[in-house]
Chains A and B, each alone.
Chain A
């Protein structure tokens, strides 16, 4: 079984500042890792994913994440945020051997202040 912990429920940031959203996971098997974004009253959109290879993954909208196996972390970063980045961000994992059944963290609400 897997579990995902997003360490911050809310993160307020000023526009054009850098941001890091933290995610730690626990699993007894190998996992794939994902970050999704949810805008108000919308579904989830995939930002980026780590399947294998380079531990630094680049996604859409200028986001990137780094997989750290020893620390079981997959933190999301953006060097300079915009007002339009205000949304809920979810970290998720899935078993590499099984079906694409995602286990989600509780979410981090990113609020960008002008």
Chain B
């Protein structure tokens, strides 16, 4: 049973370009969470999705950021018109249930560098 798969592992974008980060949850998991880790900081919640639904996007910046989790295929975190401040590690986690006690399994992250 493969773990949570994120790709790419490293992504370099010039300012103003778009970044697309992909996350394939563990088999049987229908709950996906995205977190952002800025340098020297802990992880900050961004968004929680179930298949075809955004459940909680309270941590998403209001502009340029969007997320989806289609019926088929991976979850996508999309950042439009990237700026230097978007440089960070983006982690995806998945769980079998959405309840608080369900263990969340993390991917290895995508490290975005904006130049």
Chain B residues near A45 (CB-CB < 8 A)? 106
Least CB distance, A38 to chain B, in whole angstroms: 9
**Cβ-defined contact, A102 with B45, below 8 A:** yes
A104-B43 CB under 8 A given contacts A45-B106, A99-B56: yes
What's the tally of chain A residues with a CB closer than 8 Å to chain B?
Answer: 28
A80–B56 alpha-carbon span in the complex (Å): 41
**Cβ-defined contact, B56 with A96, below 8 A:** no
User: CB-nearest residue of chain A relative to B101?
Assistant: A51
User: CB-nearest residue of chain A relative to B111?
Assistant: A41
Chain A residues near B55 (CB-CB < 8 A)? 99
**Cβ-defined contact, A100 with B99, below 8 A:** yes
Q: Which of B17-38 contact A (CB under 8 A)?
A: 31, 33, 35
A36–B99 alpha-carbon span in the complex (Å): 18
Chain A residues near B6 (CB-CB < 8 A)? 43
* A25 located at the interface, meaning its Cβ lies under 8 Å from any Cβ of chain B in the complex: no
* B100 located at the interface, meaning its Cβ lies under 8 Å from any Cβ of chain A in the complex: yes
Least CB distance, B71 to chain A, in whole angstroms: 20
A106-B41 CB under 8 A given contacts A43-B4, A101-B56: yes
* A46 located at the interface, meaning its Cβ lies under 8 Å from any Cβ of chain B in the complex: yes
A32–B95 alpha-carbon span in the complex (Å): 15
A68–B93 alpha-carbon span in the complex (Å): 28
* A71 located at the interface, meaning its Cβ lies under 8 Å from any Cβ of chain B in the complex: no
* Subset of 30 A-B contacts with CB under 8 Å: A32-B100, A32-B101, A42-B109, A43-B4, A43-B6, A43-B91, A43-B106, A43-B109, A44-B93, A46-B105, A49-B101, A90-B43, A94-B100, A98-B100, A99-B31, A99-B55, A99-B56, A99-B98, A99-B99, A100-B33, A100-B97, A100-B100, A100-B101, A100-B102, A100-B104, A102-B104, A103-B45, A104-B35, A104-B42, A105-B42
